[in-house]
Each structure stands twice: as structure tokens, then as C-alpha cells.
Amino acid sequence: MYTGESGCCQCPVALAGRYFQMPIQNPFATSELAFPILECFHIAGFALSIGMTALIDFRLLGFGLRDETPAEIALSGQLWMLSGLVVAIFSGLLLFSTDPDKYYLNWIFDAKMVCLVIALAFNYTVHRKALSPGASPSAGRRLAVVSLALWLSVVFGGIYIALLQ
């Protein structure tokens, strides 16, 4: 049995009650290094994911990697794109946990999240159709421009979250 400061025995239920009344500290919010490290992972994840998407989009536009079709580039980079996206989303959730009010009350963060959802939906639905063998090259170019614009809006949204608070 545990004896408290007064010397009398305290039951485990009383100890548990005291333990659960303690304020919960977010380790990412209290560490000086956690936020910059998480931000590096977040940026690296987005760079990997958006970079792979940009390679496909530039190929649809007729720039770079002319020896491969956009579908071949997409197939070979699919794992990299998904890995970068997973890292970016999980590190973003941890960044959000450091100060939820800072992000939730920021209209630029809301706009970034809307653009992210639209970009993801576009990337995994409409954009995939542009990679099919029978797709029109002119439609592919238009979809590539839309894709690049959506992903750039996500990137600039992230930049402006820090600048405009």
C-alpha cells in the first residue's frame, strides 16, 4: 500500500483519481525542437508527393522525361507519392496538435484544407483518367494545369499560414 504525505494508506483508486486530474501536456507543444522537426518532415513529405505529381503533370504538358509515358511515370512513382502523402498528412496532424486554435481559427488553414481535399480527390479520380492510353492529349494538358494549380494552392496555403496570422 502507498502511504501519502500524511502517513496514512491511500487506496489505488484515490491515486488513479489524482493521476487523471493532472493536465495533459502535448510533448510537441512544449518542446522547442519538435515543431521545426515536424515541419521539416511535413515539407519533405509534400515535396515528395507533389514532386511526383508534378513530374506526371509536366509530362502531360510535354515537358521532361520524354522517353516515358505519363502512365509509366505514375506507375513507377506511385509508392513514392503515397509515402510522401502519408508523411505529410501525419506530420501535419502532429503540427496541428501543437496549437489547434492557431490553425482552426485561421481562414488560410481552412482554405488550404479545402484545396488539399480537392487536390487529393482530383489526383485519385480525374487525374488518373488522363493517364489512360485512350485519353486525349489536349484534355491531359488541361487536367495537368488544374492539378498543378491545386497543388500549388496547397503549398502557398501552407506558406501563408505562417505569414498571415
71, 131 in Cβ contact below 8 A? yes
Dist CA 155 CA 115 (whole Å):
10
What's the pLDDT band for 11 if we cut at 50, 70, 90? low
Between the CA of residue 148 and those of 12, 83, 84, 90, what are the distances in Å?
Answer: 59, 19, 17, 23
Dist CA 112 CA 157 (whole Å):
5
pTM here? 0.77
pLDDT tens, position by position, 25-46: 667 667 788 889 999 999 999 9
Whether 87 shows a pLDDT value over 80: the answer reads yes
pLDDT value of residue 146: 94
pLDDT tens, position by position, 88-145: 999 999 988 888 888 888 899 999 999 999 999 998 888 888 888 877 888 889 999 9
Whether 152 shows a pLDDT value over 60: the answer reads yes
Q: Which of 14-23, 67-76, 85-94, 97-106 has the lowest mean pLDDT?
A: 14-23
pLDDT value of residue 64: 78
